[in-house]
Structure 1
Amino acid sequence: MPESTEKAAFFPIYLQPGAGRDELPYRLRQQSLLGDFGRAALQTRELDQLLQRAAELCADGLRTRFAQVLEFVPGENRLVGRAGVGWEPDRIADMAFETDVGSPAGYAYKTRQPVITNQLPSEARFKTPQLFTDHGVIRSINVLIERGGEGQDYFGVLEVASADPGWFDQADADFLAAFAGLLGIAIERQQADARLADALEHQSLLTREMSHRVKNSLASVVGLLRVQSRGAQSDEVRAALQEASSRVDTIAQVHDNLARGSRIGFIDFADFIDDFCGRLQANANGNQLRCRAEPMLLLADHGIPLGLLINELVTNAIKHAYPDRCGVIELSACALGDRLHVEVADQGVGLPDGFDINAPRSSLGFKVIRGLVRQLRGRLQLLANNPGARFLIDLPIVPAADPPSAAAR
């Protein structure tokens, strides 16, 4: 559009660039809005909200009623409305412009240049869109939105329009171009975040699927061991096979918890303890299991040895604590600073006289317990409990920083 002094003289004075406004506050306001949008872009994770905010701030900065963000749709070769302000609500979703020279937005996209027009009704470069005619629009600015500001990949067009007399000048176009630059970087970040989220979700699905398959495979092993146990000829072999199936079942439970967990690579320890006690209660020989654990997330690498360790201690109490009657076996777990304390206690016959927890033993169960404690770099202590026995496992296991709430479980 010609902007010489001679051309401007043919128009009323309020149509000349900058006329009728205090230029310095006007430009300072635009700079302030750019800062506002920069902060909003860092805080907003929803793309639609970001695009709508961009349209609102651009209209504010250029003192216009109308603004819109148009996205290029490759498959349709069109610019379609994603957000807008000032237009009739039902018209925003229906906005569509061909990417040719038939409209100001299409012209800007086609030529890759900003388009300023202050006389739409007499414009010779393109036709006035019906949307503009319906809203009385007589002037507009269109600038490209470069995705990431690289000048190679274009998201679409940022457009402001006005039905009021006045004049858009090059400084207005520069403001809108700066805004489009910020918007393009924000869009690229949003889309990169979305791609990362999709990749993480895919990884999550793969991990959960793997844990689910491992759990099913271990469940098959448990079934085979139990079948062999029922067919064993001696009580010793039968007991050994039953203990082996219990250990494999514990590992399967950890993988099941991994598949259902809220975070990849972690187990919800409270959920695991609930499931664990529910499974053991069915084979507790009439004893009552009371289990409680604080909600916490533990690394999967800790989950399997810890689960096996608890399984050995509880199973040992079920077998030996109450030889002539049934009783209560308690399991509790809590985080104390950067350590995890797990207690298994009963009120049964207690341990043999002179029992030394650190003495070498021939029992496979106690060998497994000692080996797992060493693997977790913890300590196994025998606490006073009269009557009965009380074992404390003190482990340097740090729970995750954001354990799930009870409601989430």
Structure 2
Amino acid sequence: MASDGSIREAHEAGSGRAELPYRLRQQALMGAFARMALQTRDLDALLRRASELCAEGLSAACCQVLEYRAHDHAFVIRACTGLGDDRVGTDLTAGDEATPASYAFRTGAGVLANGIRPGAEHDGARFHPPEGLHLPEGPAPAGLCHTVNVPIALGDESRRAYGVLEAWGTEGHGFDRADQEFLAGFAGLIGIAVERHQGDARLRHALDHQVQLTREMSHRVKNSLGVVAGLLRLQARDAQSDEVRHALEDAGARIATVAEVHDHLWRGIHQLGMVELADFLRELVAKLQEEAPGHDLACEADPKVISADQAIPIGLVVNELVTNAVKHAYPQGTGPVRVALSVRADGLRLTVRDDGVGLPPGFDVTVRQRSLGLKIIASLIRQLDGRLSTEGGGTGARFVLDIPLA
């Protein structure tokens, strides 16, 4: 019986390679690929690199990553090294089990076949190269070629396979079991990467679905609040007293402001639950303008994306301050009301000012007020953890709200 040493020497003599450096190079290539598999989420780049490293590690004429496509029982070439990039994306039949890839995929076992003669399908040989595979001329005797194939298994409960990793060569006497194990190691890493990629895709789909559901909910809430606001306005028209009418109109305006936030949540392209505050305030002021004919309402705002939980109280504060200015700043007519939002290093500064009659003598915004609107403003400011101040003197009134941001 031949010793392991004599078998190795015979193999080295037949293959024309030094066995130890050859295996060490394979280990180094697999280690490099394992590091890449941990670092990248680009599956196409990973498959392309796998085919390159496998071809290098096996001194193979070509190496291909084949993905199985169930609906037409075919393989699609996802990566190919040695035969040109134009093969990537092309199809191979998976129904011919005389091709090593089809046999490996069906049985779940690796295929090691040396000494395959192209065209052998016509003489009853067990395996033959797939149609369209044209290997370069090599030193193998009588134009023979060699192949090693391993299935790319996935680790889920179905125990299904993603596809096949295969290499073809024309050198010497072909591949051996150690080469097959080398290829199987790459196939295992590819399977893990494919599972991660598919898991990422499922997670993205689930998140997209959740976003869609949330936007649909915001859309319905916005519509429902719009109906409530409209009903309050209708009720206000039939009110028997000015006090009741104004109260109903104010309540409708507050509800419409909350509806406006939900409208932005529904239509927004930013992340879930976030509102572009500048756009929201400009649209809010434009809607308030519709309810204040003759007044000149304007808004200037720096862009800032904030959560809906912050946008709602900010919008309600603007609604209350602008409405108060429209009602009380110009008792003899109409005039401008300006809303400004600036983004500062320590948070946001919201300013609402007018050029009207100004604040009453001795007015102190920090003192509890009898006005419902000012009570609402005080409650909203506590919710925002903000600080409201006023500036009198000269013409008009100026309210300044500083809002810290985390």
Aligned-residue CA RMSD (Å): 3.1
Quote the Cα distance in structure 2 between the aligned partners of 1:119 and 1:355: 99
Q: Which residue of 2 aligns with 1:392?
A: 400
The counterpart of 1:201, out of the listed 185, 208, 216, is 208
Letter in 2 for 1:95: D
Quote the Cα distance in structure 2 between the aligned partners of 1:80 and 1:286: 68
Tell me if structure 2 keeps the 8 A contact 1:99–1:110: no
SS in structure 2 of the partner of residue 118 of structure 1 = strand
Tell me if structure 2 keeps the 8 A contact 1:107–1:126: no
Cα distance, 1:238 vs structure 2: 2.2
Q: Which residue of 2 aligns with 1:401?
A: none
Cα distance, 1:338 vs structure 2: 5.0
Cα distance, 1:59 vs structure 2: 2.1
Please give the residue correspondences for 1:199-238 in structure 2 after superposition, counting only pairs within 5 Å: 199-238=206-245
Letter in 1 for 2:390: L
Give yes or no for the alignment of 1:33 onto 2:50.
no
Quote the Cα distance in structure 2 between the aligned partners of 1:7 and 1:25: 17
Quote the Cα distance in structure 1 between the aligned partners of 2:354 and 2:53: 68
Letter in 1 for 2:130: P
SS in structure 1 of the partner of residue 132 of structure 2 = helix
Quote the Cα distance in structure 2 between the aligned partners of 1:253 and 1:353: 35
Q: Which residue of 1 aligns with 2:248?
A: 241
Q: Which residue of 2 aligns with 1:105?
A: 101
User: Which range is displaced more, 187-196 or 318-327?
Assistant: 318-327
Quote the Cα distance in structure 1 between the aligned partners of 2:13 and 2:129: 20
Cα distance, 1:65 vs structure 2: 3.4
Tell me if structure 1 keeps the 8 A contact 2:8–2:19: no
Please give the residue correspondences for 1:92-171 in structure 2 after superposition, counting only pairs within 5 Å: 92-98=88-94, 101-121=97-117, 124-132=125-133, 138-148=145-155, 152-165=159-172, 167-171=174-178
Work out the percentage of aligned pairs sharing the same amino acid: 48
Tell me if structure 2 keeps the 8 A contact 1:114–1:141: yes
TM-score normalised per structure 2 = 0.85
Letter in 2 for 1:319: K
Cα distance, 1:234 vs structure 2: 2.5
Cα distance, 1:156 vs structure 2: 1.4
Identify if the C-alpha distance between structure 1 residues 117 and 203 changes in structure 2 by more than 3 Å, giving closer, same or farther: same
Q: Which residue of 2 aligns with 1:402?
A: none
Q: Which residue of 2 aligns with 1:298?
A: 306
Please give the residue correspondences for 1:8-407 in structure 2 after superposition, counting only pairs within 5 Å: 16-17=14-15, 19=16, 21-87=17-83, 91-98=87-94, 101-121=97-117, 124-132=125-133, 138-148=145-155, 152-165=159-172, 167-261=174-268, 262-337=270-345, 339-384=347-392, 386-398=394-406
TM-score normalised per structure 1 = 0.84
Letter in 1 for 2:243: E
Identify if the C-alpha distance between structure 1 residues 90 and 356 changes in structure 2 by more than 3 Å, giving closer, same or farther: closer
Tell me if structure 1 keeps the 8 A contact 2:115–2:173: no
User: Which range is displaced more, 179-188 or 64-73?
Assistant: 64-73
Letter in 2 for 1:194: A
User: Which range is displaced more, 285-294 or 120-129?
Assistant: 120-129
Quote the Cα distance in structure 2 between the aligned partners of 1:162 and 1:385: 91
Residues 343-382 of structure 1: CA distance to partner in whole angstroms, max 9, x if unpaired? Answer: 2222322100011212232211111111111222322222
Quote the Cα distance in structure 2 between the aligned partners of 1:222 and 1:151: 54
User: Which range is displaced more, 158-167 or 132-141?
Assistant: 132-141
Letter in 2 for 1:171: A
- Count, aligned residues: 392
Residues 9-43 of structure 1: CA distance to partner in whole angstroms, max 9, x if unpaired? Answer: 9x9x88824x2x45555444434433443344345
Cα distance, 1:63 vs structure 2: 2.8
Quote the Cα distance in structure 1 between the aligned partners of 2:35 and 2:354: 59
Extract unaligned runs of 5+ from structure 1.
399-409
Tell me if structure 1 keeps the 8 A contact 2:29–2:53: yes
SS in structure 2 of the partner of residue 38 of structure 1 = helix
Cα distance, 1:339 vs structure 2: 3.1
Tell me if structure 1 keeps the 8 A contact 2:152–2:187: yes
Extract unaligned runs of 5+ from structure 2.
138-143
